Structure formats: structure tokens, C-alpha cells
């Protein structure tokens, strides 16, 4: 087991913890909203089953088109009517959370546009959480049950085989990238990161390194977004930000 592996949970409990955190989001005050959103994304990044559920839901999903379709005029404003199909709802909600975390969609402006409340922005955030994030929890639980059932049926029906995945990264690039991910963690430790900051960083970095080692690049983009969010929220942002940019540039060079 590598240092990274200790921070990646392969069990069902991590999925249910995520669902509990989703349902608790409606009670979070707006001042803590962005931090809570980042924590949800870290939970995805550190659970192999959540990663699989999200990757399956996001495959082929067109978020801009889905968002445009979800906008419904209500009086002089717009509100959102999220997709009803479980996988579409998962993809829609997770893409929206990533947009908040990366500040490509400012959370405050979004709430004012689609969930305005005369009682204040915390009420608006609670309405958003109940409309989008609570259903996300329900859909993830449904997909977990389907995911687990399918895995059991597959094991019963087929002999164990080793699937070959066409490598998208050359061996030397894989080794270089994994070493640079490890260097990020070393720099954070040497820069006096807190235990919580290191746990968040190791969780996302470990999942990213695992994807690279397996040449399974489906989750590289979401994990890079999560890594950037964890770094920008830490006191090591200045020391690590440039390294994250260079890592992102390397992935894009290889078409990932």
C-alpha cells in the first residue's frame, strides 16, 4: 500500500457519508457554503465507488445544454428544474458543484439569480441545497445499489479476467506525473500544512496518482479541479499553485 492509498476508501460507508453530508448541506450557513461544497468534492475524490458512480453518470453528459434546459422562468426571475433521471441529476449536480468550487460560477450570483430569498442568502442556499443536493444524495444511493448489484452479477456470470486498457500516457510520463504529485505533498508538509490540509491534499492527490498509474483518465479532469480547489483553499496556495498549473499543462499536452 502506498502513502496515497491510505486516503482512498473503497467501501460503501464513504458513499453513505457523502449522502449524509449532502442532506446536511441545507442547514449550512452561507458563510460556510463554499467550504462545505469543497468538502463534498473531496469526499468524491477520496472514494473509489463515488468516483465510479460519478464517472458513469458524467460519461457523455452535456452540462451546458442541460443547464440551459433546466432554466425555467418564474415571474421576473429564473429558477432551476434539475433533470429527473438519476444519472443525469448526479452529473448535473456534480458539475454545478465543481463550477462553484472553481469560481467559474460565483455562488452568490448564482443564488441571487435562481434562488433569491427576501430572508437572506442563507435561505437561498438552503433552497438550492434542497432542490439540487438532497436529490443528489438520493440518486447516488440508488446508483450505489445498482452498482453493487451489477458487480455481484458480473462476478457470478463471468470468470475473472484482466481487461486491457489502451494507455493514453507513455510510461515515462506516468512516472514523471506521479513523482510530481508526490512532490506536491512533500512541499505541503515542508511548508507547515495543517493535518486537515494534508488529509485533503493526500486524498485528492492519491486518487489522481491512482488514475494515472492505471491509465484510467476519465476522472483526471474532475480530480484536477478538486486538487486545484484544495490547494487554493490552503495556506500553501502560493507554493503549490504554480506546480498544479504545470501538472495541468502536462495533462493537456497528452490530450487528457
Q: What is the pLDDT, as a whole number, of residue 8?
A: 67
Region of 184 (left: φ > 0; alpha: ψ -120 to 50; beta: rest) is alpha
Q: What is the pLDDT, as a whole number, of residue 158?
A: 53
Which of 203, 253, 243, 214 has the alpha carbon at shortest distance from 5? 203
> Exposed, middle or buried by CB within 10 Å (0-12, 13-18, 19+), for 91?
buried
Q: What is the pLDDT, as a whole number, of residue 31?
A: 92
Q: What is the pLDDT, as a whole number, of residue 155?
A: 46
Indicate the pTM of the whole model. Answer: 0.61
If you search the block for the grid coordinates 430572508, which residue do you land on? 119
Q: What is the pLDDT, as a whole number, of residue 251?
A: 84
- Please tell me the distance from the alpha carbon of residue 70 to that of residue 95, in angstroms, as a whole number: 13
Q: How far is the CA of 117 from the CAs of 23, 120, 122, 123, in angstroms?
A: 20, 6, 9, 6
End-to-end CA distance of the chain: 26
Q: What is the pLDDT, as a whole number, of residue 190?
A: 82
- Mean pLDDT, each 10-residue run in order, the chain (256 residues): 57 90 94 93 90 90 92 83 92 94 92 91 94 95 76 50 52 84 84 80 81 76 78 78 86 80
Q: What is the pLDDT, as a whole number, of residue 133?
A: 96
- Please tell me the distance from the alpha carbon of residue 200 to that of residue 226, in angstroms, as a whole number: 10
Q: What is the pLDDT, as a whole number, of residue 68?
A: 92
How many residues appear in the chain? Answer: 256
Q: What is the pLDDT, as a whole number, of residue 138?
A: 93
Q: Secondary structure of 81-148 in the HEC alphabet?
A: CCCCCHHHHHHHHHHHHHHHHCCCCCHHHHHHHHCCCCCCHHHHHHHHHHHHHHHHHHHHHHHHHHHH
Amino acid at each position: 500500500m502506498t502513502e496515497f492509498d491510505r486516503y482512498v476508501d473503497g467501501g460503501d460507508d464513504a458513499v453513505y457519508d457523502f449522502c449524509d453530508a449532502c442532506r446536511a448541506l441545507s442547514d449550512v450557513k452561507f458563510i460556510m457554503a463554499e467550504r462545505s461544497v469543497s468538502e463534498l468534492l473531496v469526499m468524491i475524490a477520496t472514494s473509489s465507488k463515488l468516483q465510479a458512480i460519478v464517472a458513469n453518470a458524467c460519461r457523455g453528459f452535456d452540462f451546458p445544454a442541460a443547464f440551459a434546459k433546466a432554466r425555467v422562468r418564474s415571474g421576473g426571475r429564473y429558477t432551476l428544474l434539475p433533470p429527473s433521471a438519476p444519472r443525469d441529476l448526479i452529473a448535473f449536480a456534480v458539475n454545478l458543484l465543481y463550477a462553484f468550487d472553481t469560481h467559474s460560477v460565483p455562488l452568490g450570483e448564482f443564488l441571487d439569480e435562481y434562488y433569491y430569498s427576501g430572508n437572506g442568502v442563507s435561505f437561498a442556499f438552503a433552497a438550492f441545497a434542497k432542490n439540487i443536493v438532497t436529490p443528489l444524495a438520493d440518486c447516488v444511493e440508488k446508483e450505489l445499489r445498482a452498482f453493487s448489484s451489477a458487480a455481484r452479477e458480473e462476478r457470478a456470470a463471468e470468470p475473472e479476467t484482466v481487461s486491457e486498457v489502451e494507455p493514453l500516457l507513455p510510461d515515462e510520463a506516468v512516472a514523471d506525473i506521479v513523482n510530481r504529485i508526490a512532490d506536491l505533498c512533500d512541499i505541503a508538509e515542508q511548508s507547515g500544512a495543517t493535518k486537515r490540509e494534508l488529509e485533503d491534499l493526500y486524498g485528492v492527490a492519491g486518487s489522481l496518482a491512482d488514475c494515472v498509474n492505471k491509465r484510467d483518465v476519465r476522472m483526471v479532469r474532475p480530480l484536477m479541479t478538486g486538487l486545484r480547489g484544495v490547494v487554493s483553499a490552503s495556506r500553501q496556495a502560493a507554493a503549490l499553485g504554480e506546480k498544479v498549473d504545470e501538472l495541468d499543462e502536462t495533462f493537456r499536452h497528452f490530450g487528457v
